[in-house]
């Protein structure tokens, strides 16, 4: 495990947050719950049936784990809450009664009711299905209109890129084609994740195929407009754009292409102009540079909800729960 993840787990232990795991009957999730409680990383609730859970993992000590069985509990307060929150969008009470039986909705409603500090799911559900209930119920944090995601990229030891080899990439998993305003939200949220989870002081670059007007295109205009807006909305944030990747992270190139920029050459938070670039970009670095890609970390929600990769291991679940606990601490 990288020192970054070790440090995230240590900080999470101090945060003492309560995280709900909606896919409570899934084996990797049950094993992770046992580890989280044994290591005191967070308090955990599994949504599911106790007998099913115990039969799946008889060797896991679940004595410190809460189990919430939707079939054995009164869900009326959750369906009332869901109906109240969504009736303006056309939801009927009968729809709410059915939806609360879906653990992804139930988990988010527990967070919304402040019974838990965050939710983690996605081991057996697609990203869209995990995020949609949270987008509908938890909504965005004050001042942010866009939920997005980032990866913390940890390059092999000795790398001098970013902050001693640690960089944050956003958005690599949620918004297919962000507007200039959404790019600003992604930049602000990624900077917050850089601080709270990666523990680095953010220097944000809005990436493009152009540096400071070297090319003309409407796609470049969008990034330049986002840069201007970001300076107005977050004047204290160290941020610059539009920058090509080399100008953003290589000092020599920055001196040639963007000599006035305080961020160019030293950026440690890279904001991609769209999801095609972001998703391909993080995977290139992960594969070619042999970097560890920690994430996707969802950001911008008013209370934290995180999506797992369907190929995740129990250890990955523990790490995502620890990051969720940290987000709850810094929200």
Which residues of the shown chain bind ligand ACO in the complex (CB under 6 A)? 89, 127-128, 131-132, 135-136, 140, 146-147, 173-176, 279, 296
Among the listed residues 122, 23, 33, 27, the one whose alpha carbon sits nearest the alpha carbon of residue 322 = 33
Rg of the chain over all Cα atoms, to the nearest angstrom: 21
State how far the Cα of 185 lies from the Cα of 178, in Å rounded to an integer: 10
CB of 211 to ligand ACO, least distance (A): 28
Number of helices and strands (H, E) in the chain?
13, 11
Indicate the residue among 264 and 294 with the shorter CB distance to ligand ACO: 294
Return the number of the residue (128 or 143) whose C-beta is nearest ligand ACO.
128
Q: How far is the CB of 210 from ligand ACO (least distance, A)?
A: 26
CB of 156 to ligand ACO, least distance (A): 21
DSSP 90: T
List, in sequence order, every residue forming a beta bridge with 229; answer none if it has no partner: none
From the CB of 172, what's the least distance to ligand ACO, in Å? 6
CB of 299 to ligand ACO, least distance (A): 10
Q: How far is the CB of 209 from ligand ACO (least distance, A)?
A: 22
Please identify, using beta-carbon distances, which residue of 65 and 147 lies nearer to ligand ACO: 147
- Shortest Cβ contact with ligand ACO: which residue? 135
Helix (H) or strand (E) holding 148: strand 148-154
Residues 6+ apart with CB under 8 A from 325: 12, 15, 17, 19, 41, 42, 117, 118
Q: Which is nearer to ligand ACO, 104 or 131 (CB)?
A: 131
Considering the complex, state which of residue 37 and residue 188 has its C-beta at the smaller distance from ligand ACO.
188
Q: Which is nearer to ligand ACO, 68 or 272 (CB)?
A: 272
Between the alpha carbon of residue 140 and those of residues 4, 250, 305, the distances in Å are: 27, 34, 11
Using DSSP bridges, classify how beta strands 204-207 and 269-271 pair: parallel, antiparallel or unpaired: parallel
Is the preceding peptide bond at 55 cis, omega within 30 degrees of 0? Answer: no
Q: How many CB atoms lie within 10 A of CB 288?
A: 8
Eight-state DSSP code of residue 197? I
């Amino acid at each position: 495990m990288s020192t970054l993840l070790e440090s995230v787990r240590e900080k999470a232990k101090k945060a003492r947050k309560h995280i709900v795991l909606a896919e409570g009957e899934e084996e990797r999730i049950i094993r992770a719950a046992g580890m989280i409680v044994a290591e005191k990383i967070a308090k955990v609730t599994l949504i599911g049936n106790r007998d099913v859970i115990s039969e799946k993992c008889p060797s896991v000590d679940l004595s410190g784990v809460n189990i919430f069985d939707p079939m054995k509990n009164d869900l009326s307060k959750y369906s009332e809450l869901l109906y109240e929150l969504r009736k303006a969008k056309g939801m009927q009470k009968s729809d709410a009664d059915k939806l609360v039986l879906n653990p992804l909705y139930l988990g988010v409603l527990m967070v919304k009711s402040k019974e838990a500090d965050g939710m983690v799911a996605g081991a057996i559900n697609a990203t869209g299905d995990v995020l949609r209930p949270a987008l509908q119920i938890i909504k965005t944090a004050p001042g942010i209109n866009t939920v997005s995601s980032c990866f913390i990229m940890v390059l092999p030891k000795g790398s001098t890129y970013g902050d001693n080899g640690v960089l944050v990439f956003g958005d690599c998993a949620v918004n297919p084609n962000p507007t200039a305003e959404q790019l600003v939200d992604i930049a602000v949220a990624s900077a917050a994740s850089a601080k709270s989870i990666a523990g680095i002081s953010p220097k944000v670059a809005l990436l493009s195929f152009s540096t400071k007007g070297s090319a003309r295109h409407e796609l470049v205009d969008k990034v330049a407009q986002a840069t201007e807006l970001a300076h107005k909305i977050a004047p204290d944030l160290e941020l610059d754009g539009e920058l090509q990747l080399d100008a953003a992270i290589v000092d020599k190139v920055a001196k040639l292409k963007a000599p006035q920029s305080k961020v160019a050459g030293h950026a440690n938070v890279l904001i991609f102009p769209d999801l095609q670039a972001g998703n391909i970009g993080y995977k290139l670095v992960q594969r070619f540079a042999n970097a560890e890609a920690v994430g996707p970390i969802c950001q911008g929600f008013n209370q934290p909800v995180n999506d797992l990769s369907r190929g995740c291991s129990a250890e990955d679940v523990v790490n995502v729960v620890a990051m969720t606990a940290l987000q709850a601490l810094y929200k």
